[in-house]
Amino acid sequence: MTKRREFIKHLSLISALPFLARFSSNATGRVFSNIEIKRLKDLAKAKNLFYGCAVNNRIFNDYGYDALIAGQCNMIVCENAMKWAALRPTPHTFDFGIADTYLQFAEKNKIQMRGHNLCWHESIPKWLAATITTTNAQEMLTEHIERVVKHYAGQMHSWDVVNEAIDIHANNDSGLRTKSIWFEMLGEEYIEIAFKTAAANDNKALMTYNDYGLETDSEKRRRVLDLIDRLKTKGIRIDALGTQAHLDGVGFVNNFSANEYQLFLNDAADMGLKIFITELDVNDQQLPNNNDDRDLGVAHVYRDFLNVALTNPAVYGLLTWGITDRYSWLDHIKPRTDRLPQRPLPFDEHLQPKAAFNAIADVFERLK
Ligand code: G3I
């Protein structure tokens, strides 16, 4: 039997378990699952790793969703609530109201929290784009980072200080993203300004550089490590690398080299960087419309990627970008042509575990 058939049989069996359990009911005929669904946070912790997810504001009014997060995660990150657009309604106000409630949720459930993000070319408030100049840009950036990092000082596991600063399609020697208000106003220096300001206001949180495409793009990997090397050479504190891992359900298997990615992770580790998988999900746009086939194709990618990423000693944990298909950015930004909702995450829209959940659990359990 081919490895794939074996894998599918293995996963199908496991993924059938919760379903089979549903048929076990007690005297009153109430259907209940007598098989406790595993908790990814426990499986991760048993291997000194964390598991978590990005959370959105439905956490406060979708009680199944928040219970699922509390049960499965020992790390969370706000999908949007700590971005500039969410925290800065006007040039003179900082609104921490909503973001603080996520932190209260995390503290209540003994979950650690990552901050995302302090400096990015997206999620720029309209007033900023309208008022920023080369003269006031540095003050605007440092004031924002100072206020936000100070507000959460000592409470954050890590901060994505700068997000997605590399764009290999940009025509400049360092591969820096030029279509960025921060680059346009301050040049490459904005990156060290951001890291210096963040590090000066929280000596506990791990200062992280976060980017996407590092799983399959060797040019981008090189550019990111070169950038971090330049900054570290100047004495800038960068503690961690965030590899987002927004993977493609079909493209991944054709473009991923386990060996090259492992070498990249080793290079990052040799620079003294901790590594976090920060935004893992699997885009199923190109996969068949049949749920079972799609779910297995997605699970295959989770397994193949995590079997490499999580075996590297410098990787400290993973977050999926969402936890249930009920809420995924992919439906809005990368919808399927057949208009079926995407199925990129470990739990389905009914908050039931999928083959992807079993694949993640399986990798955690098999880790040495
Ligand atoms: O909250 C407003 C709402 O009031 C308004 O009516 C609506 C109108 O468009 O917009 C809502 O804000 C949206 C926000 O998500 C909350 O839903 C923004 O328009 C929309 O642009 C924003 O998209 C987010 C995107 O980042 C841009 O910030 C996605 O949810 C989020 O998943 C995505 O996450 C990024 C990471 O931060 C960085 N890595 C890539 C990842 C995927 O793009």
pLDDT in tens, 154-180: 999 999 999 999 999 998 888 999 999
pLDDT in tens, 1-58: 455 455 444 444 444 444 333 333 444 444 454 567 899 999 999 999 999 999 999 9
How does residue 365 score in pLDDT terms, banded at 50, 70 and 90? Answer: very high
Best mutation site among 53, 57, 79 for ligand 1, i.e. most ligand atoms within 8 A of its Cβ? 79
> Per the residue annotation, which of 122, 146, 164, 184 is the catalytic one?
164
Query: What number does the ligand 1 atom closest to the CA of 54 have?
Result: 32
Confidence (pLDDT) at 22:
37
- Give me the pLDDT at residue 129, please: 96
CA–CA dist 342, 37 (Å, integer): 23
Which class for 222: exposed (0-12), middle (13-18), buried (19 or more C-beta within 10 A)? middle
> What's the mean pLDDT in 199-217?
98
Selecting among 189, 279, 349, 365, the annotated active-site residue is: 279
Q: What is the tens place of the pLDDT at every residue in 278-301?
A: 999 999 999 999 999 999 999 999
- Distance, CA 80 to ligand 1 centroid (Å)? 6
122 catalytic residue (yes or no): no
Say if residues 234 and 192 touch (Cβ distance below 8 Å): yes
Rounded Cα gap, residues 55 and 321, in angstroms = 8
Q: What is the pTM of this model?
A: 0.91
Please state, in angstroms and rounded to a whole number, the distance separating the CA atoms of residues 120 and 226: 19
The DSSP-derived string for 235-304 is T----EEEE--EEETTHHHHH--HHHHHHHHHHHHHTT-EEEEEEEEEE-TTS-SSHHHHHHHHHHHHHH
Residue 340 vs residues 252, 326, 346, 347: alpha-carbon distances, Å:
21, 12, 17, 16
Q: How many Cα atoms are found within 13 Å in the side-chain-facing hemisphere of 113?
A: 25
Axis-axis angle for helices 3-22, 355-366 (nearest 10): 110
Chain-centroid distance, C-alpha 85: 19
Q: Rounded to the nearest whole angstrom, what is the distance from the C-alpha of residue 123 to the centroid of ligand 1?
A: 7
Residue minimizing CA distance to atom 4 of ligand 1: 86
CA distance 84 to 117: 8
- What is d(CA 98, CA 46) in angstroms, rounded to the nearest whole number? 32
Percent of the chain with pLDDT over 70: 90
Q: Whose CA is nearest to atom 41 of ligand 1?
A: 279
Burial of 16 (0-12, 13-18, 19+ CB in 10 A): exposed
CA 299 – CA 43 distance, rounded (Å): 17
* pLDDT for res 173: 86
Q: Going by CA atoms, what residue is nearest to atom 22 of ligand 1?
A: 80
For residue 103, give the DSSP letter.
H
Mean pLDDT, rounded, for 104-120? 98
Output the ligand 1 site: residues, CB below 6 A.
79-80, 83, 122-123, 163, 212, 244, 279, 329
pLDDT at 18: 40
Structure tokens at 119: 């400096």
Alpha carbon distance 174, 187 (integer Å): 11
Give yes or no: 279 in active site. yes
Predicted confidence at residue 37, as pLDDT, reads 83
Q: How far is the CA of 248 from the centre of ligand 1 (A)?
A: 20
Which residue is closest in CA terms to ligand 1's atom 32?
Answer: 329
CA 18–ligand 1 middle distance (angstroms): 33
Least confident of 5-14, 176-185, 297-306, 330-339: 5-14
Distances (CA, A) of 275 to 262, 269, 353: 12, 8, 27
The 3-state secondary structure of 194-215, one letter per residue: HHHHHHHHCCCCEEEEEECCCC
What are the tens digits of pLDDT across the range 209-253? 999 999 999 999 999 999 999 999 999 999 999 999 999 999 999
Closest protein CA for atom 28 of ligand 1:
123
Give the percent of the chain with pLDDT over 90. 88
**Residue whose CA lies nearest to ligand 1 atom number 1:** 86
Cα–ligand 1 centroid distance for 22 (angstroms): 36
Region 312-322 average pLDDT:
98
